[in-house]
Amino acid sequence: MNQKPKCVIRSVIMAACASSVLLVMAQGVSAADANTVNVAVAEQTKTEQAAVASQKKIVALDDEASNSVASYRQMIAEAQSLKGYNEQIAAQVESQQGQIIEMTGQIETIETTSREVLPLMDKMLDALVSFVALDVPFLPEERKNRLAQLQAMMARADVSTSEKYRRLVEAYQIEVEYGRTIEVYQGKVDEKTVEFLRSGRVSLMYQSRDGKETGYWDIDAKKWVIDNSYSGYMIEALKVAKKQSAPNFLEVAINSPKEVK
């Protein structure tokens, strides 16, 4: 009974001694390798930090590469668009060059035509002036002013050839229209105010406002002739021309036709 506790004590003492030896050994190892461990830990930390930094650089480079690819693709698309645009512009320029050549030819033709047309228009105007001078003298001031305006216009450089031709043809059309219409207007014969009746170009008659004098233009004699025998016919004709009476046959003074030899 007394030996058993001794063995337990001995075991406890031995265990304590072993623990002390282990503690001393651990303390010895820790003290000896402290610097090495710290260095290893520091290196590991640096390695991890370097890895994190490298990862950040990789991400940044990847973003940069993605942006570069996107920019490259955009530049390719713009280049293709510009190529198509340039092709369209080139086609338009070629078409415009063709139009320029065509218009140049037209201008040369117009210049040639102008050189030929201007003398022709001068002859047409001279012929119209002579015709009016030899014609029955109705609306003398109106027709005289029209011809004077045409003559002044022909000498102007700021009026186009086409406009000159248009106005000249218009004057011819007005003169042609006189030949198929009847007209009443006021004027003077020997300083007396009268009413004129123009029946186309075949007859030009007048009557004083009081109805006491009636006459006509003698084409052969080139003068006014008083002939009151037409007084009643003139009154009726004036009513028809003024649309105060229904249309009817008119009896007017005309020159007898002559045989042309």
Strand partners of residue 208: 194
Per-domain residue ranges of the chain: 110-178, 182-255
Q: Taking the CA atoms of 210, 216, 221 and 226 in sequence, report the sign of the dihedral they define.
A: negative
Which range, of 76-80, 112-116, 146-150, 255-259, averages the lowest pLDDT? Answer: 255-259
Question: Locate tokens 């123009």: which residue?
Answer: 198
Question: Contact 143/132 with Cβ under 8 angstroms?
Answer: yes
Cβ count within 10 A of residue 213: 17
- What number is the average pLDDT over the span 122-126? 94
Cβ count within 10 A of residue 178: 16
Q: Which of 28-42, 130-144, 240-254 has the highest mean pLDDT?
A: 130-144
At 124 the pLDDT is 94
For the segment 201-243, what is each residue's pLDDT rounded down to a tens digit? 989 999 999 889 999 999 888 999 999 999 999 998 888 888 8
For the segment 65-115, what is each residue's pLDDT rounded down to a tens digit? 888 888 888 888 888 888 888 888 888 888 888 888 887 777 667 666 767
Which range, of 45-54, 155-164, 188-197, averages the lowest pLDDT? Answer: 45-54
At 4 the pLDDT is 46
CA 126 to chain centre: 40
pTM over cut 0.75:
no
At 172 the pLDDT is 95
At 111 the pLDDT is 64
SS3 245: coil
